[in-house]
Structure 1
C-alpha cells in the first residue's frame, strides 16, 4: 500500500495522529528533501529509511516505488510541507498507480490554499485552485486570460521574486478586482494583506511563498470577461471614440481613466 501523507505547512503541531501512525508503520518514506523531512520526523520520533523523491527524479524514482509496492512493501510519500501531488511531486505517480492497479490512499491534512481562501474573506462557495502560473510572461498572461471570465474566487501560489510582476499582470488582465496575499500560514508571523489590484501591496523585500487570492469575475456584464484593452477595442469597434470608450471602461471597471488608457495602448 502507498500512502500520500500530508505534513504541516509551518506549525509542526498541525500533523494528524493518523499521519504519525502511518509514518511509523510503513517500510520507508519517500520525501522531497531528506534534510527538511528529518526535522519533522525527528520531532515525532519517526525512524524510517528515507528515499529521495522530488520533481527532478519524479518519474524514475516513481517507477522504483512501484517496484517496491509490487514486492509487498508499504510506502509513505511526503512533500517538504503540505499535501503531496497538490503543486508538489506525486501527480505522475498517482497516474501510474492507477494504471498498474496498485492500491493507494491519502492521509489528509494541511494545505496552504484553503486557509488562504478563508483568510481572504472572499466567496468560498465557488473557488478555483490554480497553483503556480507559468514562468514565462507571455504564457502567464495567456493563462490569466483564460481565467478572467471564471465566476469563482481564484487561488494562486507565487514565489517571492515574482510577486510584484504577477500582481501587475493580474491587474492588466482582470482589471481592478479585490485581492489578498497570505504568507507564513500557521507560523508566528502569518500575515494577510487585502487590497485592490490597482493598488498592489507594499513589500520592500518579499520573502517566502505567497498565496494570492483574487475575486472571481462577474457574469452580469460579459464585457468584463475581456481584458481592459479588448474591452476598449470592442467599444471602439461599436462606434465610440477612443476617449469615450476609455471613460466607459473606466466606469464599468472602477479604474482610473489614465490606467485604462495606458493599458489600451
Structure 2
C-alpha cells in the first residue's frame, strides 16, 4: 500500500509559528524532504522531531521527485517542507505533488504561514484582490514578458525579492510599470519586521537586509481619452502623477503610435 505525501507549512521567521498538527505530522512520518537539511534541523530540533531528512531542492527537483515517489509507492509516509512557508509557493514542491498524485499517491496539506498573505495583511491595502507573481525571472527579457502581461492589471502585484536584488528590481518595476505606490515588507514575524510605504519612483528603504515582499499598486482604471488630442492626453496623465517620459510612453502604447510622434506633439508641455 502506498504511503501519504504531506505538504507541511513551516514558520517564515518565528519558530513559534508552527501548528500542533504540523509538529504531530513531522513526528509521525518516515521521511522529511526539505530544501536545506541544516536549516530545517534547527526547527526540527526545537520540537524534538527526529525523522530522517532528505535534500529536495530546486536545481534537482525533477530527479528528487522521482526518487521520493518511489519511496511513497513502497509505503513510506513523507512530509515535504521548505526553508520557510508553504512548499510549492515560490519554492520546490509542485513537481512532486503532481507526480505523486499522478502515481496514485494520496497527497494532503498541513497548512501554515505564507509570506504573501502575511505581507498583504500588514500592508493595510483596502481594495481587495491581488496577483501573486513570486520571484521574477533572472533574464531581463523574461521579466519584461511577465510584466507586459500585467501592466494593465488593476489588482496589486505581489513579488518576492531577495535583498541583493531589491533596488535593481524596484528600478526595473518603475521602468516597466511607471510610478506607483509600493509597500516594501521585510523580515515578517521577526524582530526587525517593517513595512515601508513609498513609490517606485522614489524607492528608498535604507539598507536592504532580509527577504522582502513588494506589493505594487495596480494599474489605474482606464479613462476614455478618445476626445482628447495627443498633447491633452499626455497632460492628463501628467496631471495624474506620471512623469512626462512615462506619460508619453503610455500614450504611445494606448494609441499604438511611435513614441517619437507623441513626443513631438508634447514638446510644449
Band the TM-score falls in, shorter-chain normalisation: 0.7 to 0.9
Residue 68 of structure 1, aligned match among 60, 68, 71 = 71
**SS of 1:59's equivalent?**
helix
The answer to whether 1:248 aligns with 2:236 is: yes
Q: Is the 8 A contact 1:117 1:124 kept in 2?
A: no
- Check whether the contact 2:178–2:246 (CA below 8 A) recurs between aligned residues: no
Number of residue-to-residue matches in the alignment: 249
Q: Give the drift of 1:135.
A: 1.0
Q: 11, 14, 18: which is aligned to 2:14?
A: 11
Q: Secondary structure at the match of 1:22?
A: helix
Unaligned residue ranges in structure 1 (runs of 5+): 224-233
Distance 2:249 2:152 in 1: 22
Structure 2 gaps, min length 5: 251-258, 261-269
Q: Is 1:82–1:112's contact at 8 Å kept on the other side of the alignment? A: yes
Pair 1:135-2:138 in alignment: yes
Q: Give the equivalent residue in structure 2 for 1:35.
A: 38
Give the conservation status (yes or no) of the 8 Å contact 2:86–2:113.
yes
What is the aligned partner in structure 2 of residue 212 from structure 1? 214
Distance in 1 (alpha carbons) for counterparts of 2:75 and 2:111: 23
Residue matched to 2:47? 44
**2 CA distance for matches of 1:124 and 1:53?**
38
Is it true that 1:84 corresponds to 2:87 in the alignment? yes
Deviations 1:135-158 (Å, cap 9, x if unpaired)?
122321221121111121211101
Partner of 1:55: 58
Relative to the length of structure 1, the TM-score reads 0.86
Change beyond 3 A, Cα 1:222–1:246: closer
* 1:88-120 per-position Cα deviation (integer Å, ceiling 9, x unaligned): 100111111221121011100111011111111
CA RMSD of aligned residues (A): 2.3
**Contact 1:249–1:260 at 8 Å: present in 2 too?**
yes
Q: Residues 186-223 of structure 1, C-alpha deviation per residue, up to 9 Å, x if partnerless?
A: 000001100122211232x3122110001122334278
1:183 & 1:147 partners in 2: Cα distance?
A: 24
- 1:54-104 Cα offsets, whole Å, 9 max, x none, are 112211111111111111111001101111100110011111122112101
Q: Quick check: 1:180–1:214 contact (8 Å CA) kept in 2?
A: yes
Q: Distance between the aligned counterparts of 1:183 and 1:153, measured in 2?
A: 18
Q: Secondary structure at the match of 1:12?
A: coil
- Give the Cα–Cα distance (whole angstroms) in 2 for the partners of residues 222 and 70 of structure 1: 59
Please give the secondary structure, in 1, of the residue aligned with 2:182: strand
Q: TM-score, normalised by structure 2?
A: 0.85
SS of 1:156's equivalent in the other structure is: strand
